[in-house]
C-alpha cells in the first residue's frame, strides 16, 4: 500500500499540482504551489521511514545531500548550465531509493532558489529534479553495476530536465501549451541542454564512485 501511495503522489498528484497551478492560478501564487509540492514530496519518505534513530539518521543524510546539492549549484553560478544538482540527486537515489531522490531534488530547487530567486518556475524545477531522482531510484540496480549506464543516465536526465522545464517556458510565455512553440523552444535551448547533459556526465564520472562509497558506508554503519 505504501508503495502505491508513493507512486500516486510522486507520479500523478505532484505533476497535477504543478501543471494545474501554472494554468489555474496567477504567478503570485507560486509560493503556495511550491510549499504544496515540498509537503507532498516529503510524504513518501515519511511513509517508508523507520522509527527510532535509524530513521532520524536517514533524514540527516538526505538533508546533507540536499545541502551539498544547493551549495554545488551556488558555487557553479559562473558556469551557466554546468551544475551538479542532477548528479547528486541521482547518487542520493541510488543509495536511499527513489523517494529520497525525489525529495532531495525538490528541496534542492526550492532552497537554492532563495539565492537564485523564487518564481513560478520553482514548482517545475522541484518536480523536474525530483523526477530525475525517482527514475534513478527505479533503475538503481543496473546503474550501480555499470559506470557507462550511470553516465548515460546522467546525460538523459539532463536532457529530460530541459524538456520538462521547456514546458513551463511555453506555458509562461503563451498562457497555454502549443506544440509548435514548444518545438521552437527546444531548438533554441539545445545548447543549454547539451551543456547540462555533459555536466551531469562529468560530475557522475568524477564523484559518483567516492560519494556512493561514503553513503553506503554510512548506510552500513548506522544500519539504515
The total of structural domains in the chain comes to 1
Q: Which of 71-80, 93-102, 177-186 has the lowest mean pLDDT?
A: 177-186
Q: Rounded CA gap, 121 and 16, in Å?
A: 15
Say what percent of the chain tops pLDDT 90: 51
Place of cell 547540462: 196
| DSSP one-letter string for 77-132 | TTSTT--SHHHHHHHHHHHH-HHHHHHHHHHHHHHHHHHH---TTHHHHHHHHHHH
Tell whether the model's pLDDT for residue 173 goes beyond 80. no
Asked if residue 201 has pLDDT above 60, the reply is yes
C-alpha cell at 163: 524538456
- Summarised one tens digit per residue, pLDDT across range 77-105 is 988 889 999 999 999 999 999 999 999 99
Whole-angstrom CA distances from 44 to 1, 26, 70, 76 are 11, 28, 22, 31
Cα dist. 116→70, 75, 218 in Å?
11, 12, 32
Position 24 confidence tier, pLDDT thresholds 50, 70, 90? confident
Residue 4 has pLDDT above 90, yes or no: no
Does position 221 have pLDDT exceeding 80, yes or no? Answer: no
Please tell me the distance from the alpha carbon of residue 101 to that of residue 79, in angstroms, as a whole number: 24
pLDDT of residue 147: 92
Over residues 170-193, the mean pLDDT reads 83
Q: How confident is the model at residue 51 (pLDDT cuts 50, 70, 90)?
A: low
In whole numbers, what is the pLDDT of the chain averaged over residues? 88
pLDDT at 157 over 90: yes
Q: Looking at residue 148, what is its pLDDT? A: 94
Residue 86 near residue 207, CB atoms below 8 Å: no
Q: What is the DSSP letter of 51?
A: S
- Reported as a pLDDT band with limits 50, 70 and 90, residue 174 is low
C-alpha cell at 30: 507560486
Residue 52 has pLDDT above 60, yes or no: no
Which domain range does residue 106 map to? Answer: 2-221
CATH label of the domain that carries residue 177: 1.10.1760.20
pLDDT in tens, 106-136: 999 999 999 998 888 899 999 999 999 999 9
Residues 131 and 102: beta-carbon distance below 8 Å = yes
Amino acid 28: pLDDT: 62
Q: CB neighbours (10 Å) of residue 47?
A: 14
Amino acid at each position: 500500500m505504501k508503495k502505491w501511495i508513493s507512486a500516486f503522489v510522486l507520479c500523478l498528484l505532484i505533476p497535477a499540482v504543478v501543471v494545474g497551478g501554472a494554468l489555474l492560478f496567477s504567478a503570485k501564487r507560486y509560493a503556495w504551489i511550491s510549499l504544496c509540492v515540498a509537503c507532498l514530496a516529503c510524504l513518501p519518505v515519511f511513509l517508508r521511514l523507520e522509527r527510532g534513530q535509524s530513521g532520524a539518521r536517514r533524514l540527516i543524510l538526505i538533508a546533507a545531500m540536499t545541502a551539498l546539492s544547493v551549495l554545488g549549484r551556488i558555487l557553479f553560478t559562473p558556469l551557466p548550465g554546468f551544475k551538479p544538482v542532477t548528479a547528486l540527486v541521482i547518487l542520493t537515489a541510488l543509495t536511499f531509493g527513489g523517494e529520497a531522490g525525489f525529495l532531495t531534488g525538490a528541496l534542492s530547487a526550492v532552497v537554492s532558489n532563495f539565492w537564485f530567486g523564487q518564481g513560478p518556475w520553482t514548482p517545475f524545477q522541484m518536480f523536474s529534479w525530483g523526477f530525475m531522482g525517482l527514475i534513478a531510484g527505479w533503475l538503481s540496480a543496473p546503474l550501480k553495476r555499470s559506470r557507462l549506464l550511470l553516465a548515460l543516465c546522467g546525460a538523459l536526465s539532463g536532457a529530460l530536465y530541459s524538456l520538462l522545464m521547456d514546458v513551463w517556458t511555453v506555458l509562461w510565455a503563451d498562457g497555454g501549451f502549443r506544440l509548435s512553440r514548444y518545438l521552437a523552444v527546444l531548438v533554441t535551448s539545445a545548447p543549454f541542454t547539451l551543456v547540462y547533459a555533459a555536466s551531469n556526465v562529468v560530475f557522475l564520472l568524477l564523484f559518483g564512485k567516492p560519494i556512493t562509497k561514503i553513503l553506503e558506508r554510512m548506510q552500513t554503519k548506522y544500519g539504515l
